[in-house]
Amino acid sequence: LKTYLPGDPLLLADKLSMAHSLELRVPFLDRELLEFASGIPGRQHLTGKETKSLLRAAVRELLPPEILRRPKRGFGTPIDIWLRMHLRPMMLDLLSERALKARGWFNPAYVAAMIRSHQEGASDYSQHLWALLIFEIWQRQFVDGEEVVDETYRLSRPLPLATPVKHRPLSILIPTDVDPDEIASGAERVLAEETKELLRRGHQVTIISRCMDPSKAGTSDRDGLRIVRFCVPTSKGIRGLLTTLAAARNVATAVIAQAHPDVIYIQQPLTGAGVLQSELAASIPVVYCFHSPWSEEFRIRALELRAPLANPNTTRPTPSEALQIWLRRQISRSVARRSSQVRVLSDFMAEQCRTRLNVPLAKLSLIPGAVDTSRFAPTQDRAAARARLGIGPDVPLLFTLRGLEARMGLGNLLDAMSLIVEHEPRAICIIGGTGPLAQALADRAQKLKLRDHVRFAGFIPDTDLPAYYSAADLFVLPTAALEGFGLVTVEAMACGTPVVGTPVGATPEILIAFDPSLIMPDASAQGIASGVLAALHRVHGDDRLRERCRRYVEANYTWPSVVDRLEHLLAALAEHVTV
């Protein structure tokens, strides 16, 4: 409903007729339909001022209201998607504060606000930003005499290897701030799955991990994996940061002397920075996996504690918070500077890394996240899975799995549910996850009178997740900010469940190649409701959609294919080969 097929004869006819200065109108390419329509009395073609009234009446049960009621439109260009994805590096460079100040035509602060709002899905400034971008390119090419080369903005994307390469066994040291044994978020999942695959290939892996429970501190060995945990009782405040850096440095010195790592693969910057302070780490090549901007995540979390469900961009940090934000940014930048390569999971995170940490494009390698397709797979009996959740066979079931934090957009999702149930009175949304906004969200749901339509499932054990994914008609991703990749997106699709998500962060990068119509118009409550209702029509009208979801993930997002690329990157640096 929102795309054009490249081989569509209507599109082909339109192109060729315009190329020859002809105005051509192709009906439904059906002779019998045309003959029937030509015999309909003219007075029945119009109902008041409504055009195509018979056609609209005929397809009213097949199309979402937003499609049925919208005015006539031509073949549009997806500029809004381009500027959020493929053209984002060029836009951020050519419309940067430095570039706009040098040109002197436009207000840099105003343009920056437009870009931020567009990137976050809050507004559609695509036409404005497109005009500014084209104007700047024209200025550079025809006034400055400078050629704007598109390749300058292309990110290194290690491709799946046609023939797997056998690398010598490596000793890999992985500093992290999370526990690989406790899967609470995507960061733990990436660490656990990549470690498991690297071990399967014969590499030696040692993890240095921070913990807050003294009883967990020490060294453990299992299945060839060594985990060295050091205890920092609290990580809050500047003192907690400095204590962690010192403890990680001391542990690293002993671990490096024993493990002799070929490469250091940093998962989070705090423990990673401490490890790099060890003198023994000075000559070891480093890869930094940039999951997200640590300082920005801290800013959002700090502000949401003071103003739950408020827009974090409208609240200023306190002086103490501002100092901690700055310190986290400096620690992250120091890790990025020391790294030989920075691995990002999406184009969106590549831009966050470039703009926030000043990492040059040539230093970035895009290797996406993935899913264990043997574990996350469609259930054999969806009806039974729904019954265990107390959901009837004809109830539209939405599911989301999020940390209950402001940037996840769950407040907007609740507001959207109050709109969705007006059209789907039996719809139910299950929200899985824990976090600081649990009570605020429960209060919001009660205020909106959604007791019969929204269920808070709390923490869902890892073993139960495939059943939740499979039972749902739709997985909803209402993210408001910083969606670095979205492992839940590919997990849901691996279970055969279509995903509808906001145009925020990396979500469009996953969905656009599968089905762009599953990308919501924006991240507002109205945008979420519109996207969900349209997607529910798709689910009920396309029996093969669930099978297509599974095939898409199998072709693009499996851990063996992803670790092929990661292993090649680590081995190249260990052998001092230019990446």
Backbone angles phi, psi at 567, to 5 degrees: -60, -40
How many whole angstroms separate alpha carbon 121 and alpha carbon 17?
Answer: 36
Contact call for residues 126 and 120 (beta carbons, < 8 A): no
Same domain, 358 and 212: yes
What is the percent of the chain with per-residue pLDDT over 70, rounded to a whole number? 91
pLDDT average, residue stretch 565-571: 94
- Given this model, what pLDDT does residue 1 score? 45
Strand, helix or coil at 239?
helix
How many whole angstroms separate alpha carbon 265 and alpha carbon 167?
Answer: 17
Nearest CA to 567 out of 297, 257, 168 is that of 168
161 belongs to a structural domain? no
Tell which of 127, 153, 179 closes a domain: 153
Tell which of 50, 69, 88 closes a domain: 69
428: its two tokens: 């139910």
Same domain, 328 and 271: yes
Band of pLDDT at residue 541, cut at 50, 70 and 90: low
How many whole angstroms separate alpha carbon 128 and alpha carbon 126?
Answer: 6
Which carries the bigger pLDDT value, residue 413 or residue 18? 413
How many whole angstroms separate alpha carbon 282 and alpha carbon 271?
Answer: 16
Same domain, 186 and 132: no
Our count of domains for the chain comes to: 4
Residue 290's DSSP bridge partners are: 344
Same domain, 478 and 541: yes
How many whole angstroms separate alpha carbon 422 and alpha carbon 417?
Answer: 9
CA separation, residue 478 to residues 84, 354, 370 (Å): 17, 25, 20
163 belongs to a structural domain? no
Same domain, 314 and 177: yes
Same domain, 432 and 565: no
Band of pLDDT at residue 148, cut at 50, 70 and 90: confident
CATH number of residue 401's parent domain: 3.40.50.2000
pLDDT average, residue stretch 243-261: 96
H-helix segments, 341-464: 347-357, 382-388, 410-423, 438-447
How many whole angstroms separate alpha carbon 472 and alpha carbon 265?
Answer: 36
pLDDT at 161 over 60: no
* 316-330 pLDDT, tens digit each: 888 999 999 999 999
Same domain, 21 and 148: no
Same domain, 135 and 195: no
pLDDT average, residue stretch 450-469: 96
- Given this model, what pLDDT does residue 338 score? 96
pLDDT average, residue stretch 481-504: 95
* 85-98 pLDDT, tens digit each: 778 888 988 999 98
pLDDT average, residue stretch 544-568: 95
Backbone angles phi, psi at 344, to 5 degrees: -120, 155
Give the DSSP per-residue string, 500-539: EE-SSTTHHHHHTTT-GGGB-S-SSHHHHHHHHHHHHHHH
Map tokens 């549910």 to a residue: 417
Regarding pTM above 0.85, the answer is no
pLDDT average, residue stretch 196-211: 95
Same domain, 393 and 275: no
Helix, strand, coil percentages (3-state) for the chain, rounded to 5, are 50, 10, 35
- Given this model, what pLDDT does residue 151 score? 63
Domain that holds residue 309: 171-370+560-574
420 belongs to a structural domain? yes
pLDDT average, residue stretch 524-553: 90
- Given this model, what pLDDT does residue 449 score? 97
Q: Which residues neighbour 233 within 8 Å (Cβ) at sequence distance 6 or greater?
A: 212, 214
pLDDT at 506 over 90: yes
pLDDT average, residue stretch 98-113: 94
pLDDT at 492 over 50: yes
Nearest CA to 245 out of 218, 275, 211, 265 is that of 275
How many whole angstroms separate alpha carbon 39 and alpha carbon 245?
Answer: 81
Same domain, 542 and 397: yes
The dihedral through the CA atoms of 287, 289, 292, 297 has a sign that is negative
pLDDT at 545 over 50: yes
Tell which of 69, 93, 121 closes a domain: 69
* 275-332 pLDDT, tens digit each: 999 999 999 999 999 999 999 999 988 887 777 776 666 678 889 999 999 999 999 9
Same domain, 141 and 214: no
pLDDT at 51 over 80: no
Same domain, 244 and 121: no
- Given this model, what pLDDT does residue 469 score? 98
Band of pLDDT at residue 75, cut at 50, 70 and 90: low
1 belongs to a structural domain? no
27: its two tokens: 């009906």
Mean pLDDT across the chain: 88
477 belongs to a structural domain? yes
338 belongs to a structural domain? yes
